[in-house]
């Protein structure tokens, strides 16, 4: 018989990829009760040890009545993981939608939680920010560190940074216990393509492995991106949940999450090595100037010294990323 869970956690955007990744770990621990929410019906991850500790709620975070229902399903609230949002290319295509989802809905939810726990309540808020907060001018070599000022060149990064600043102040005021995670691109990401400008970095491995074409939106095999694997991200999210609040300054709550800088050519070579050279016929270069502008505005490498000081993990290589994905297909 399972023990009664003692920690209620809400995961927004739980119909996406990162939410179920985290939930699958939390639901193996009997101490957690996880409330999954999204605008589409979120599913409880398969194969978890304690599916009975999951609640799935479909609704719009922008709707105050739904937010009240959501908070009522997770009392007392231990932690809130904010994973919902409109991704980079989608945000650039629709500024108003990005503002509504990536800024206003987060602000509304945070204010509702604050009203429900006026003394602060010790609620941990973990916000999925992005490396897109950085833009040009980048330091020589393109490597950004904590001291580099964010200068986003896209709507997605700008709206992520707006929310980071709000969260910094809410932590400083004692309303919440905040960590804003500037995530690398997650690759190789299973499932369908997303509205992220970087979606091709997963697609160029995932699609050929299922016999489908993938368009690479720029003709530059030397182009580099900062990425991490799903497995490393999953472990690091669990570790962030356990971090001491005092490990960061009270008004600076962002963490550049661990990743590695990989080139398009390195991913192509790894696909040939682990998936078979015949898979390369599914790749085609199809320049997309709008996507390329977004991609080139991001830092190709990030200093993750703070994350490593906090005990977070890092991937080994592009080769290991691709091998991990190909091996997962064999065991599926």
Q: List the beta bridge partners of residue 180.
A: 127, 254
Assess whether 127 carries a catalytic annotation.
no
258, two tokens: 């661990």
Per-residue CA distances from 107 to 150, 159, 311 (Å): 21, 12, 30
Prior bond of 222 cis (ω within 30°) = no
Per-residue CA distances from 93 to 182, 236, 318 (Å): 22, 31, 30
- Cα angle 243-111-119, degrees, rounded to a multiple of 5: 65
Could you give the 3-state DSSP secondary structure of residue 259? coil
Distance, CA of 45 to CA of 149 (rounded, Å): 38
Distance, CA of 30 to CA of 44 (rounded, Å): 15
* Active-site position among 32, 127, 156, 325: 156
Catalytically active residues are 156
């Amino acid at each position: 018989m399972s023990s009664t869970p003692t920690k209620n956690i809400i995961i927004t955007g739980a119909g996406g990829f990162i939410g179920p990744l985290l939930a699958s770990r939390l639901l193996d621990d009997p101490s957690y009760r996880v409330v999954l929410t999204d605008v589409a019906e979120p599913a409880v991850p398969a194969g978890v040890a304690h599916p009975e500790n999951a609640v799935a709620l479909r609704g719009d975070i922008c709707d105050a009545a739904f937010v009240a229902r959501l908070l009522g399903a997770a009392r007392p609230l231990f932690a809130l993981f904010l994973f919902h949002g409109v991704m980079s290319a989608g945000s650039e295509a629709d500024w108003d939608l990005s503002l509504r989802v990536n800024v206003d809905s987060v602000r509304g939810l945070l204010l509702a939680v604050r009203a429900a726990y006026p003394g602060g309540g010790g609620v941990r808020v973990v916000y999925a920010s992005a490396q897109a907060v950085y833009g040009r001018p980048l330091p020589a070599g393109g490597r950004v560190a904590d001291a580099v000022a964010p200068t986003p060149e896209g709507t997605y990064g700008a709206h992520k940074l707006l929310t980071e600043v709000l969260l910094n102040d809410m932590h400083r005021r004692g309303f919440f216990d905040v960590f804003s995670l500037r995530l690398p691109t997650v690759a190789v990401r299973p499932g369908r393509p997303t509205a992220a400008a970087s979606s091709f970095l997963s697609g160029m491995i995932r699609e050929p492995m299922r016999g489908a074409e993938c368009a690479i939106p720029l003709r530059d095999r030397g182009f580099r991106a900062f990425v991490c694997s799903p497995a490393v991200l999953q472990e690091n999210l669990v570790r962030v949940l356990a971090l001491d609040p005092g490990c960061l300054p009270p008004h600076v709550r962002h963490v550049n999450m661990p990743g590695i800088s990989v080139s398009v050519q390195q991913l192509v070579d790894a696909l040939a090595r682990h998936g078979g050279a015949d898979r390369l016929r599914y790749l085609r270069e199809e320049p997309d100037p709008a996507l390329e502008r977004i991609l080139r505005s991001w830092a190709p490498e990030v200093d993750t010294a703070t994350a490593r000081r906090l005990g977070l993990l890092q991937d080994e290589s592009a080769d290991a990323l691709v091998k991990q994905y190909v091996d997962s297909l064999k065991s599926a």
